[in-house]
Amino acid sequence: MSGPVIRPRRLRQSPAWRRLARETRVDAAQLILPMFVAEGAAEPRPIASMPGVVQHSLDSFRVELQRAAAAGIGGVMLFGVPVEKDATGSGATDPDGILNVATRVAAAEVGDALVVQTDLCLDEFTDHGHCGVLDAAGRVDNDATLVRYREMALAQAEAGSGLVGLSGMMDGQVAAVREVLDAAGRADVPILGYAAKYASAFYGPFREAVQSSLVGDRRTYQLDPANRREGLREALIDVEEGADVVMVKPAMSYLDVLADTAAASPVPVWAYQVSGEYAMIAAAAGNGWIDGDRAVDESLTSIVRAGADAVLSYFALDAAERWARA
Ligand code: PBG
């Protein structure tokens, strides 16, 4: 009896062969580190549900930015944690608001080495925790929110943002922000559309990270996790409205949407490995239940394999530094 003629194992037989046969490689340059900066913090504050991630003070922020630049990652995505919140999220458009201050610091410190990106959404700044402003009935008012997003875009561009990340999932947000930036002579500022952002339980730890005061949920504006076609549709709308990059978020539970989007999009497609994805891996690794480094590499590789051109991940810096040592 003869054995099989076709033997795929031939190309897996040694480390050298596996290296040569590898289809997907992840480079530090395609990783983006999300960072939290807390107004008035004298020291970095740990985030319990995200072991290893902190709300930065301005000092610890500067140190981490230098680390990120030295590690050769692609960029940072900034989130602000303000002291005061109100109904319209005033802190988001105040030039002295924490996110705009942090953006100026980052642009000055590492603006040549990294793409300094900013979250353009109101939820960190509103006392009700929604991504937009509310109407008299307490519903998120799409078009009134666009007015605030326009103001926020100008404030972030002024502060030196290298890319505004529109994560609020309001209809027409990309077109509105593109229009106001262009009219202000800021055609140079790129827009990332969080095109397919799902109403996900995996954002749980992020709510602690930015001390969100949200009551209720975001299901009237974020996508239903059951909808695949709608994710692609949202991405195509963002492209049509002028997005320079589109994103799928979360990543690991939405690789089908990511693959669809990557196949159809004429612009780069990024994916966001969100706080809950980080927390699951970090917690299991911390308990010795999985090999953390392997799980991180496998998850990032899967996201790139599915079609992401770049990945936002809280593991970005640790992974890049570890790869550089290997
Ligand atoms: C909204 C925003 C959220 C995240 C990024 N931008 C929160 C949300 O929509 O509920 C979540 C990111 C994460 O969980 O890591 N500004």
Percent of the residues in the chain that have a pLDDT greater than 90, as a whole number: 97
Please check whether residue 196 is in contact with residue 251, taking contact to mean a CB–CB distance below 8 angstroms.
no
The model's pTM is: 0.97
| Residue 66 and residue 114 in contact, taking contact as beta carbons nearer than 8 Å | no
Position 44 in a domain: yes
Pocket lining: 274 vs ligand 1, CB cutoff 6 Å: yes
H helix or E strand, kind and range, residue 152: helix 142-159
Task: Encode 276-315 in three state secondary structure.
Answer: HHHHHHHHHHHCCCCCHHHHHHHHHHHHHHCCCCEEEECC
203 Cβ below 6 A of ligand 1: yes
Domain contains 232: yes
Average pLDDT over residues 4-31: 98
| Domain assignment of residue 286, yes or no | no
Give me ligand 1 centre to Cα 114, in Å.
Answer: 22
Q: What's the 126 CA to ligand 1 centre distance in angstroms? A: 14
Residue 213: its pLDDT value, please?
A: 77
- Mean pLDDT value across residues 14-19: 98
Using the predicted structure, report yes or no on whether residue 230 has a pLDDT greater than 90.
Answer: yes
In a domain, 266, yes or no: no
pLDDT band at residue 4 using 50, 70 and 90 as cut-offs: very high
Report the catalytic residues: 197, 249
Number of domain units in the chain: 1
CB of 241 closer than 6 angstroms to any ligand 1 atom: no
> Is 184:203 a contact under the CB 8 Å cutoff?
no
Considering the domain boundaries, does residue 251 fall inside one?
no
Residue in 110, 117, 113, 128 with CA at minimum distance from that of residue 79? 117
Residue-level pLDDT at 200: 97
Domain-located, residue 281: no
The verdict on whether residue 60 carries a ligand-binding annotation is no
What is the torsion angle, in degrees rounded to the nearest 10, for the CA atoms of residue 232, residue 237, residue 238 and residue 239?
90
For ligand 1, the distance from its centroid to the CA atom of residue 87, given in whole angstroms, is 19
Q: Is the CB of 149 under 6 A from ligand 1?
A: no
Using the mean position of ligand 1's atoms as its centre, give its distance from the Cα of residue 206 in Å.
6
Q: Candidates 81, 99, 167: which one to mutate for ligand 1, based on the most atoms within 8 Å of Cβ? A: 167
Q: What is the CATH number of the domain that holds 170?
A: 3.20.20.70
How far is the centre of ligand 1, averaged over its atoms, from the C-alpha of 124 (Å)?
9
CA–CA dist 142, 59 (Å, integer): 37
Asked whether residue 188 is domain-assigned, the answer is yes
Residue 234 known to bind ligand: yes
Of all atoms in ligand 1, which is nearest to the CA of residue 206?
14
Please state, rounded to an integer, the average pLDDT across all residues of the chain.
97
Tell me what pLDDT residue 298 has.
Answer: 98
Rounded distance between C-alpha atoms, residue 192 and residue 167, angstroms: 8
Q: In DSSP terms, which residues pair with 191 in a beta bridge?
A: 164
To test ligand 1's pocket by mutation, which of 123, 140, 213, 273 has the most ligand atoms within 8 angstroms of CB? 123
- Cβ atoms of 316 and 35 closer than 8 Å: no
Ligand 1, atom 2: closest residue by C-alpha: 167
Ligand-binding annotation for 67, yes or no, is no
Domain membership of residue 229 (yes or no) is: yes
Q: What is the pLDDT of residues 113-168, one digit of tens each?
A: 999 999 999 999 999 999 999 999 999 999 999 999 999 999 999 999 999 999 99
277 CB within 6 A, ligand 1: no
Whole-angstrom distance, CA of residue 294 vs CA of residue 298: 6
pLDDT for 215: 81
Residues of the domain holding 175: 25-245
Using the mean position of ligand 1's atoms as its centre, give its distance from the Cα of residue 118 in Å: 12
The pLDDT of residue 90 is above 90: yes
ipTM score: 0.95
pLDDT tens sequence across 42-53: 999 999 999 999
Question: At 4, which amino acid appears?
Answer: P
pLDDT at res. 216: 86
- pLDDT computed for residue 193 by the predictor: 97
> Does 219 carry a binding-site annotation?
no
Say what the pLDDT of residue 1 is.
Answer: 77
Task: Name the residue of 81, 122, 166, 203 whose CB sits within 8 Å of the most ligand 1 atoms, as the mutation to test its pocket.
Answer: 203
* 277-320 pLDDT per residue, tens: 999 999 999 999 999 999 999 999 999 999 999 999 999 999 99
What pLDDT, on the 0 to 100 scale, is given for residue 175? Answer: 98
